[in-house]
Structure 1
Amino acid sequence: MKRVQSELFAPYRFMGVVTGDVAPSLRTTFVGKKSTLSVLCPIDNVIVQYNGMKLRAIGMSEPLNDKVTTVASSSTSVFAAHGKTISSLHFCREVKNSIDIGENIKFMYLMGTQLIAIDTSSGIHVIDTPDDQFQKSLHMEGSESFEISSICHPSTYLNKIVLGSSQGRLRIVNIRSGKVIHEFQRDFGARITVLEQTTALDVLAIGMENGEIVLFNVKMDKVLGTYRHDSRITSIAFRNDGEASMVTADATGTMAVWDLEKQELLGKITGTHTNEINCLHFIPGEPIMLSASLDNSIRLWIFDGADGMPRELIRLEGHSKPCVSVKFVGKNEVLSAGKDGSVRKYDVTSLTMRQKLGTVAQLPKGTAITAATEVRNVEEMVFGWQREAAWNNVFCRQKDDTKVTTWQSRNNTHGGFSLQHDRFKKKVDFIDAKATALCLSPCGNFVFIGYSTGHIDQFNAQSGRHVHSYTSTAPKTKKREAKRRTPAKSFIKSNGSLLNDTPAADSPITSLSVDQLGRDLMSTDEEGHILFWNLATKQVTARMFKKDVRLGISAPCPCNSLVAVVAIDEEGAESVIVVDRVCHRVARAFKTVGKKVNAMAFSPNGEWLLVADNDSYIRVFDVINSQLIDVLLFSKPCISMEFNETGQYLATVHQGERAVYSWFNKTLLAQQVNIRVLDPEYLPKWADEDKEDVDVIDIDSDSDDGTTVLDLEVRKMKNMQIDPSLITFSGLPASRWANLPDLALIKERNKPTDAPKKIKQAPFFLSAAATLDGFEFQTDSIEELLGSVSNTSKRNLLELETGFSKLLKNATTKEHLLNGFEEFKEKSLSGIDYEIRNLNPKTLPIFIRMLNEVRTSWIPYST
């Protein structure tokens, strides 16, 4: 996903995407006699590499310039097409070489060292790739009468490929001569989508858009068998472990297993993949098959049953539909809910940790969840850590539904019940009602739900029972309450609701939040009312109202009493007000927040407020100074975001994306972060657009001193290296240059107070050791002195003179020194180190002179 550089946040990792919309490529690498299968999955502009036998992520390529449209690989090379460029990736990591084709690439096929690329105009490009060096060898222009839709290389057919067209015809092309050898007159009657080599020579499997599969002998021009699906064929694979079996897949995610000897259907697998299957691959010599689908999943199957049908061995999956909500449930763990009705958990610091808590389904308790089960889109999710080990602590409300589902993050399971009031089951007036707001008490015992009917209900999180329905009517007198106490209790017991079911507001509830002490409940509605409820007395303690203003979503601050609320005026312009729930007044107001606010989040320390709008911007406001300090720009709007408890990571979910993106807070580890106040109307632009100078104000500067202008030229100057010999202060730690302005003062302070004293020297005939005060006589015995002398003589005997030292000693001319340097260069690193360490005081000056002679013999530096 594209983004613009931010001053406060740096990209860290994306989670939840297993495979993209492009079919993966499988490669087998050999280390000695051991082979390793790898799955290369293009995801946007990167390629993720998985271990084929365990489906664990083992690497990721560097980002490419554009989205990857197709990928091809062999045991030694990986090629990726992005835009009009094809790049070779060394070990699927860094880009080694690239070539521009001039047209967008549709798909590629690798034959040995020859890479065949088909562009969008059905042109054929043949590129030789010896040692990953690109050399164009052939280009054949395409035609509208034969639009290439699939490609295959028949076994034993040298330099020949078979092309399938959208018109339903086949053609054989020689990629060496660039000629069409043969075009079959047979019309298959539908667009050819798949061409696959079977285990028999001369026989190809042809999959078509009408769901028909044909086994075709290209040598005899004869149809050997026909099979059929209900929808478009997307992939075909053949077992190569001795069994005559074929597996086909279609656009609905259905896989069929066929017995080729009996020409009959063994069985179908439905509901496992919920979207198009774009890859089927059998591991050579083993009854193991890998399948990949557009539902963001990769599965490994094993054929070990007597009926010839596979069973699932390993599954790697993420959200099959875009994410809509994200919550941190720990320092590094993230919960995400998607439109597929599933709730999943990821770890920010690990690529392999991923778990599924379950799927939201509209079925009675005890009924199994199947592929045909109707699921509802999750719109909001709340989490509480206080009762995580005891009972359900995650609650989700669905789109157009009054039922709230429960989950438990400790056991990673679905809750045993759902929260729903009886009024929505029995009264016809509430048939179109839906839950619009949700919050959890800080103690984790109570769940509060707001509805489009204006009702607010309180449920027990442990048992799921209804506790109270809030109403804004005036409280009853003690005498009237005493008369009606008994029937009210009986009504609660029998019906699960209050006798007086008056809604808390006359318009839909838009947000709910409970303070940190669990004393007050704050509710907002569409008519502009803000009500504060006392949870002990269940009565309204304060009201706030602004005419002609509608209120939207809210976000409470985790460390104080502030709550950010979206306010919408009559003209539809949105702003964000920060309400102090203790003083019951508006503490801050931010007018420039975009056309429509999608999400809001406070930082854990309450200093920042992040507001995401529908124009793909996230504005960062400083709450204390009430100023804009940063703006993030993405290619897609952010619809949910959340900080972790330490403020180290920010998790975001974007519209139409199945991934959860994590961003690192630069202020925690960066040496210097420029926190500047920006103009309220400031909006960043993409790199290819014209950039204008931006006025920025130092956040710590006083208003009397004016503003500090920092335009783009100053930013470029900070990163510019004037000369390689100079020191760039911004690249060194602050301790290296912080004291430079006070260097003169430090030198003055460190001056000695006394004049230097002459050190006393011992007589030459006495052994002494130097000390700080002068000298000290040694008390070593004669035996020790004799022993040290003998050791010194023995050490001198062990010092051997190397050949390089002899060469230096015998050098008399400049040519001798230069020849010695040439021999010195040919040695290994350990040899060079050995020669330098063995230089004695006689040869060391000659060695320095040799280096000077070599330096002066080079071409002088031109200024």
Structure 2
Amino acid sequence: MTTSSRIFLQNRALGFVSNEIPLVTRYINLRRENLIITCVGRAFHTYSSDRFQLLSVSPQHDTDITCLAADSYLVYTSCGKQIYAWRRGVELKHTYRGHKSDVKLLFPFAVNLVSIDDSRILKVWDVKTETIHKEIVLNITATAICHPPTYTNKILIGSVEGKLQLWNINTGVMIHEFTGWNCRVTSLEPAPAEDMVAIGLENGKIILYNLKYGINKLSFVQDWGSVTRISFLIKRQLMITGSPKGTIVVWNLEEGKVDSLIIKAHFGSICGLQCLPDEPLFVTSSSDNSLKMWRFDMSDGSASLFKIREGHFKPPVAIRFHGGSGANILSAGNDSSLRVFNTVTEIANKSFGRASYNRKISKKRGNKWADPLIMPPISAFTSETTREKEWDNIIAIHKDIPIVTTWSFNNSKMGEHKLCHERFKKNVSGQKSITATCAFLTHCGNFAVIGYSSGHIDKFNVQSGLHRGTYGKPIAHKFVRGVYVNTLNQIMVSGGSDTFLQFWHFKKLNLLLKLKLDDTVSFFNWHAENSFLAVALDNFDINIIDTDTHIVIRKFNGHLGPLTDITFSPDSRWIVSAAMDLTIRTWDIPSASIIDILKVDTPCVSLTFSPTGNYLATAHADKLGIYLWFNKALYTHISLRPVTEAQTPESLPLTGVNPESIECPIEDESDEYISKKQIDNMITMSTLDEARWQSILNLDTIKNRNKPLQPPKISDTAPFFIPTIASVDFRFDLESALRNDDSNIKSFPETLMQTVFAQQLLKAENLKDYQALFNQLKCMGPSALNYEVRCLSPEAGGTYELMMKFLELLKQVSENNIDFELSQSYLGVFLKHNGCALAQRPDAINILDQISKHNPWEELEKDFFLCLSIVDYMKNN
């Protein structure tokens, strides 16, 4: 049994933003901004509040995350009985083990972390040492936790029973128990005033409670269900609360009334709500897979939507790559919306909105669940790029209705036309159950061919929305399952429930011929650049039809359940099919064999191959995201031998986002990263300027080039110190001063004093001493270093012992692979001036031979040439 696919490697998932776990925020001092953290199942996302950009994705947990918390240094997650602390959003820093039940509440508190599990056990952890500081057995079922400001070492716990308990976590003693309100506490939040805390209850009450005196200061009631979250905007004296129905209520604390409402801010419950400090902003998250930022900028003081990150709030049912770049994936979901997900950056994700019978009226009504104008979910769609700048280039069929809608990719919205024949607009008995079952947009972008459950096939003009003809007299099939038009708009192919594939003249609308198949047609798929048509049959087989010769060229069978989707590879050598038997199979068309089986834990309902061939995108039942798979055949050799059912792999879990796909790490203000001086004893260059070592070898040439062309002229003026003549009268010797007397020039002495560097070099014994001397050479300029090297020879006052010591210094440095270019340059200067003298000494030749044998540059050069040859080979192919 194999454990993975031969061809496809799971990469990441698109479209996941948030779930029912509340968001948390943390302020990073180095970035000067707040970071927003949301949970997406087994991982958590980190967004910047400035651009709302996805900064990082955490590694996958073993199971779904059950709780999320954060402080300025770490992000804390609970997964079952274990607690993890993450640094920079991607690096696992600590693991806390000790709970015997699942953890349901986390609360960072200074240097401690407070956790509560399902068995009512409260543990206080030391964050750094991962040890348990205190363990407390509660007599209530905790639901919320907070720390009242100025209450040192104390936390307040809300419960299912409606009671509140104030605990000192340092001593493990309960300070006080508040009787409560006999209603489940759903939210706790410290208020801006001292001793005050806001308490949200399940019955919709919000109570501002004074802990010191035990009295209610203010009380509010919201009409949209229980209070899910509470947050305070201190500068404006506002309190913001969330509800299960997606409504946000803004309360004016000074006047004690509702300040404003945001009706249906989310399609789901408001799970997370947090005001950003010192800014008129707050962020919300919901179980509808969205994250929104709101800003108080309206003329009446209310908030409006500022930024948004969202995906489908109901699972997608159809996905297709759009365009030739392979960067955009069109996705239609059960939420009646059409979206674009970008494989490069999530900033380019767009929503085309929800399909509506009257888009203008629906837009005025806003974000509402029960909008009667919202159309049924899109079941399938097709798109072209040929005319997307001129008119609509996407047509979509909807579940249980005969109306086909048009959409514009260029304008990112639903089009004005709704394609429907007049026969279906009349309220005739027996026509209410007729639906559009398939559609095709021609490659020129001008015509749409639509098949219906009644057996009719109609042709429409996309630009005008007008009907241009009907295939069949009066119907083409009993039940149309698929339609296709070839690239040149010559042949239209249709298939239905009568086991026949029919070929029609596209313009004249007349039938050309019929092709008998083994079973009824389920659906079609095609390759955009050739005449291959893939036909899925109800007996789980796949037939490949050549529409030019009108014959079946390949038959594939092996699926054990109904087929859900088929896609061609860009070179049309493979077809990839998905079925309800939990497998995704890859078939090789030339060899007519199956070459890969990918088994997943959730059925794949739609799949599409990237036009560039690097990705396979899949959508799965009850999954809100789109999963991307790498095509390993692009960068490694894979075996394309046929596989058998005995080689069916184990089921692969859909893990969302792999840690390798992280966009960028988050700078944390704790323990800045310091780069290593050397990595695994590899070649390390110095950080000196190139002029400090490149000019050493050619120093004499540089000096000769910079020498003045004419000798300096002797000044006619008297020197500053004028000699005198020995006589009774005081007179200056002007003639002697102006005379060019070379008698003061002395000959070079036979013996010179050794330099300080040479004296230290003689005393050097170990690597540490040699490294210190080499650091001295690094601080010297080219002229000073050249002088030191010249002074090592006996002709310049040095000794053979000094030259051998210098060779030993270069040997020690080169073996450590540090300052590679400097050591090579120094060796070149040394051999230039002293090479002839060293050639007569065997011990010097031995050291030079050892230095030449240790040449790591040759290994690095081989790696460079290997990479260059691979790049050239890929360019040529």
| TM-score category of the 2 structures, normalised to the smaller one | 0.7 to 0.9
Q: 2:477 aligned with 1:505, yes or no? A: yes
Whole-angstrom CA distance in 2 between matches of 1:798 and 1:81: 76
- Shift of residue 160 of structure 1? 1.5
Equivalent residue number for residue 541 of structure 1: 512
Q: Which residue of 2 aligns with 1:317?
A: 310
1:836: how far off? 12
On the 8 A contact 2:451/2:481 being kept in 1, the answer is yes
Q: 1:225 aligns with which of 201, 218, 240?
A: 218
Q: Is the 8 Å Cα contact of residues 621 and 630 (structure 1) preserved in structure 2?
A: yes
Instruction: Report what 2:420 is aligned to.
Output: 420
Of 101, 104, 107, the match for 1:106? 104
Q: Secondary structure at the match of 2:647?
A: coil
Q: Report SS of the residue matched to 1:842.
A: helix
Is the counterpart of residue 622 in structure 1 residue 571 in structure 2?
no
Match for residue 251 of structure 1 among 244, 253, 258: 244
Give 5+ residue unaligned stretches, structure 2.
654-679, 681-700, 709-746, 793-802, 817-877
Q: Post-superposition shift, 1:682?
A: 2.9
Residues 1:798 and 1:137: Cα distance change in structure 2 (over 3 Å): farther
Structure 1 equivalent of residue 648 of structure 2 = 683
Letter of the 1:504 partner, please give it. A
Q: How does 1:434-583 map to 2 (within 5 A)?
A: 434-471=435-472, 473=473, 502-506=474-478, 508-546=479-517, 549-569=519-539, 574-583=540-549
**Would the aligned equivalents of 2:123 and 2:136 in 1 still touch at CA under 8 Å?**
yes
Q: Identify which of structures 1 and 2 has the higher relative contact order when contacts are C-alpha pairs closer than 8 Å and 6+ apart.
A: 2
After superposition, the C-alpha distances for 1:488-514 in whole angstroms (9 at most, x for unaligned) are: xxxxxxxxxxxxxx32222x2222222
Work out the CA distance in 2 between the residues paired with 1:221 and 1:84: 35
Give the C-alpha shift of residue 407 in structure 1. Answer: 0.8
| CA displacement at 1:250 relative to structure 2 | 0.3
How far apart, in 1, do the equivalents of 2:523 and 2:248 lie? 44
User: Which residue does 2:398 correspond to in 1?
Assistant: 398
Amino acid at match of 1:344: R
1:197 equivalent in alignment to 2:190: yes
CA contact (8 A) 1:601 1:643 kept: yes
Q: Partner of 1:810 in structure 2?
A: 763
- The answer to whether the 8 Å contact 1:558/1:606 transfers is no
Residue 382 of structure 1: how far off its partner (Å): 0.3
Classify 1:303/1:819 alpha carbon distance in 2 versus 1 (closer, same or farther; 3 Å): closer
Is residue 561–residue 582 contact of structure 1 (8 Å, CA) maintained in 2?
yes
The answer (yes or no) to whether the contact 2:538–2:562 under 8 Å persists in 1 is no
Residues 362, 679 of structure 1: CA spacing in aligned structure 2 closer, same or farther, 3 A cutoff?
same
Aligned counterpart, 2:407: 407
CA distance in 2, matches of 1:362, 1:833: 80
Secondary structure of the structure 2 residue equivalent to 1:324: strand
Secondary structure of the structure 2 residue equivalent to 1:424: helix
Task: Give the equivalent residue in structure 1 for 2:380.
Answer: 380
Answer whether contact 2:4 2:649 (CA < 8 A) is retained. no
CA contact under 8 A between 2:154 and 2:169: conserved in structure 1? Answer: yes
- Structure 1 CA distance, aligned partners of 2:776 and 2:575? 59
- Counterpart CA distance in 1 for 2:437 and 2:507 is 24
2:554 to 588, 596, 614: 588
The count of aligned residue pairs is 704
What CA distance in whole angstroms lies between the structure 2 residues aligned with 1:627 and 1:661? 26
Secondary structure of 1:428's aligned partner: coil
Q: Give the CA deviation at 1:255.
A: 0.7
Moved more, 679-688 or 306-315: 679-688
Residues 5, 168 of structure 1: alpha-carbon distance in 2 compared, 3 angstrom cutoff: same
Based on CA coordinates, which of the two structures has the bigger radius of gyration? 2
Give the conservation status (yes or no) of the 8 Å contact 1:4–1:634. no
* Greater shift in the superposed pair: 631-640 or 331-340: 631-640
Q: Distance in 1 between matches of 2:753 and 2:577?
A: 74
Partner residue in 1 for 2:340: 345
* 1:600 aligned onto 2:566: yes
Query: CA 1:849–1:283 in structure 2 vs 1: closer, same or farther (change >3 Å)?
Result: closer
C-alpha distance in structure 2 between counterparts of 1:276 and 1:452, whole Å: 38
**Counterpart residue number, 1:429:** 430
Q: CA deviation at 1:595?
A: 1.5
The question of 1:118 aligning with 2:71 is answered no
| Corresponding residue number in structure 2 for 1:71 | 68
Measured after TM superposition, the shift of residue 277 of structure 1 is 1.1
Return 673-682 or 845-854, whichever deviates more: 845-854
Residues 527, 171 of structure 1: CA spacing in aligned structure 2 closer, same or farther, 3 A cutoff? farther
Tell me what 1:136 maps to: 132
TM-superposed deviation, 1:303: 2.1
Deviations 1:12-49 (A, max 9, x none): 44322222332221011113xx7311111222333322
Partners of 2:119 and 2:450 in 1: CA distance: 56
Describe the superposition over 1:520-572 as per-residue Cα deviations: whole angstroms up to 9, x where unpaired: 2222223423222221321222223357x332122112333222222224xxx
* Contact 1:205 1:213 survives alignment (8 Å): yes
The counterpart of 2:156, out of the listed 157, 162, 166, is 162
Matched, 1:86 2:83: yes
Q: Quickly say closer, same or farther: Cα 1:226–1:142, change in 2 above 3 A.
A: same
The residue identity in structure 2 corresponding to 1:267 is: S
Distance 2:781 2:532 in 1: 66
After TM superposition, the score normalised by the length of structure 2 is 0.74
1:419-464 CA distance string (max 9 Å, x none) = 1122222123211211111111122111111112222111111111
Indicate conservation of the 8 Å contact 1:266/1:307, yes or no: no
Change (3 A) 1:593 1:181: same
Contact 1:620 1:630 in 2 (8 A): yes
Measure the CA separation in 2 of the matches of 1:218 and 1:529. 79
The answer to whether the 8 Å contact 2:4/2:652 transfers is no
TM-score scaled by structure 1? 0.75
Letter of the 1:676 counterpart: R
CA 1:833–1:168 in 2, change beyond 3 Å: closer, same or farther?
farther
What amino acid sits opposite 1:214 in the alignment? I
Say whether the 8 Å CA contact 1:4–1:632 is kept in structure 2. no
Instruction: Tell me the equivalent position of 1:334.
Output: 329
Distance 1:851 1:386 in 2: 64
Letter in 1 for 2:412: N
Q: C-alpha separation between the residues in 1 aligned to 2:111 and 2:135?
A: 17
* Residue number among 56, 59, 62 corresponding to 2:59 in the alignment: 62
- Inter-partner Cα distance in structure 1 for 2:19 and 2:780: 51
How many Å separate the matches in 1 of 2:497 and 2:506? Answer: 22
1:69-112, Cα deviation, whole Å (9 max, x unpaired): 22222222222223333222222122233233444322311111
Measured in 2, the distance between the counterparts of 1:272 and 1:357 equals: 18
Q: Give me the whole-angstrom Cα distance separating, in 1, the residues matched to 2:484 and 2:178.
A: 70
Q: Which residue identity is paired with 1:124?
A: L
Q: Secondary structure at the match of 1:430?
A: coil
Superposition deviation, residue 851 in structure 1: 8.9
- Assess if the C-alpha contact under 8 Å between 2:162 and 2:184 holds in 1: yes
